[in-house]
C-alpha cells in the first residue's frame, strides 16, 4: 500500500485508502499511525472502502502547533471524509482513537453509520503509568533524553532480534515499539505531550464519555477488547456495554491492547460480521433531542 495525501487547512494529511463497499474509517491511537492497521486493512478492504488516516501530529501528517484535543481530531476526520466524498462511515477507533470516535459521534452524528471501540480510551480513569507520566510538569524536557535516534535504533534492533530468534513479537510488543519509535521525532513528541495532556492528568484519564453513552442508543455499536489489555482494563468495556443497552461486546481471548495484531483474522471476522448484520444509523436532531430530554 502507498499512502495518499490531501491538504486540509493548508496542512498535509496522510492516509491509506483501499477497497470498495461500505466505508470504514480506522482511527489509530496516541503516538501511533495508520500503519498500525496494516495486518487487517487489506482483508477489510475486500468488502469495504477502508480509509486509515494519520491524525494530525502523527505519522506522515503535519505536526503543527495546534489543537490536539479529541474534538479537534474529530473535526479533522470529518473534514477528511468531506474531501474524500464519503458522507457517512463506520468509525473504528483504537485507544485514543476510540475517544476520538466517540467525540466524532457526538459532534457529527449525521455522519456516523456505526461506532466500533477497540480497547478505547475515554471510558474510565484507569490507564497505563507511562501515559500518566507524560502529563507531569517537565515531561517535555525529559522525553528528548529518553527518545533519541539511538533509542529508535535500539528498539528496531530488539524487534529484529526477536524475529531472527524465531519468535513472533506479541501484539503489545509490536504496537508499543512502533509508538515509542515515533517519539524520536521532535514534532511527534510535542504532539504526543499536547494530546496526552488534553485527555489525561497524573491521576489518569480525565475525559470520560460515560455520562453521554446513552446518546448512542440508536447507533449500532461494537466494543472489542483484548482480554489481557495492560493499558486500559477490560472492565472499561464491560461497564460501557452495560451503559449502552444496544451495544455488542466481544472480548478477544489472550489478546492485549492491540487485538488486531494478536488475532487479525478474528478481528476482521468480527468487524465484518458486525457491519453485515447491522443497518447504518439514521440520526437527526429530533432523535437527539428526544434522548436528551429522556434523561
Residues 122, 199 contacting (CB under 8 angstroms): yes
CA-wise closest residue to 144 among 194, 192, 181, 186: 186
Segments of the chain assigned E as strands: 4-8, 11-18, 23-27, 49-53, 89-94, 112-118, 200-201, 204-205, 221-226, 247-252
Sheet holding 247-252, edge to edge: 4-8, 11-18, 49-53, 23-27, 89-94, 112-118, 221-226, 247-252
Measured CA to CA, the distance from residue 288 to residue 110 in angstroms comes to 11
Q: Which helix or strand (DSSP H or E) is residue 67 part of?
A: none
Query: What is the Cα–Cα distance from 284 to 174, expressed in whole angstroms?
Result: 41
Mode of pairing for the β-strands spanning 89-94 and 247-252: unpaired
Q: Answer yes or no: are the C-beta atoms of 92 and 259 closer than 8 Å.
A: no
In Å, the largest CA–CA distance within the chain is 60
Measured at the CA of 292, the angle between CA 289 and CA 295, to 5 degrees, comes to 145
Annotated active-site positions, please? 95, 229, 257
Amino acid at each position: 500500500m502507498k499512502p495518499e495525501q490531501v491538504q486540509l487547512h493548508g496542512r498535509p494529511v496522510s492516509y491509506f485508502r483501499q477497497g470498495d463497499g461500505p466505508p470504514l474509517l480506522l482511527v489509530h491511537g496516541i503516538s501511533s499511525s495508520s500503519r498500525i492497521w496494516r495486518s487487517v486493512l487489506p482483508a477489510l478492504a475486500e468488502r469495504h472502502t477502508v480509509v486509515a488516516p494519520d491524525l494530525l501530529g502523527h505519522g506522515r501528517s503535519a505536526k503543527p502547533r495546534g489543537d490536539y484535543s479529541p474534538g479537534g481530531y474529530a473535526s479533522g476526520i470529518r473534514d477528511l471524509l468531506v474531501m474524500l466524498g464519503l458522507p457517512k462511515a463506520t468509525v473504528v477507533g483504537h485507544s485514543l482513537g476510540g475517544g476520538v470516535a466517540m467525540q466524532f459521534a457526538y459532534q457529527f452524528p449525521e455522519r456516523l453509520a456505526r461506532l466500533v471501540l477497540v480497547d478505547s480510551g475515554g471510558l474510565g480513569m484507569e490507564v497505563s503509568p507511562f501515559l500518566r507520566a507524560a502529563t507531569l510538569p517537565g515531561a517535555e524536557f525529559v522525553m528528548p533524553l529518553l527518545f533519541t535516534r539511538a533509542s529508535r535504533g535500539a528498539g528496531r534492533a530488539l524487534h529484529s532480534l526477536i524475529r531472527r530468534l524465531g519468535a513472533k513479537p506479541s501484539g503489545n510488543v509490536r504496537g508499543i515499539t512502533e509508538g515509542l519509535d515515533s517519539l524520536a521525532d521532535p514534532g511527534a513528541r510535542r504532539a504526543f505531550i499536547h494530546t496526552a495532556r488534553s485527555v489525561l492528568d497524573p491521576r489518569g484519564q480525565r475525559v470520560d464519555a460515560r455520562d453521554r453513552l446513552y446518546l448512542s442508543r440508536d447507533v449500532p455499536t461494537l466494543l472489542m477488547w483484548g482480554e489481557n489489555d495492560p493499558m486500559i482494563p477490560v472492565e472499561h468495556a464491560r461497564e460501557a456495554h452495560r451503559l449502552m443497552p444496544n451495544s455488542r461486546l466481544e472480548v478477544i481471548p489472550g489478546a492485549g491492547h492491540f487485538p488486531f495484531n494478536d488475532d487479525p483474522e478474528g478481528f476482521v471476522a468480527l468487524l465484518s460480521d458486525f457491519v453485515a448484520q447491522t443497518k447504518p444509523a439514521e440520526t437527526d436532531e429530533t432523535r437527539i433531542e428526544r434522548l436528551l430530554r429522556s434523561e
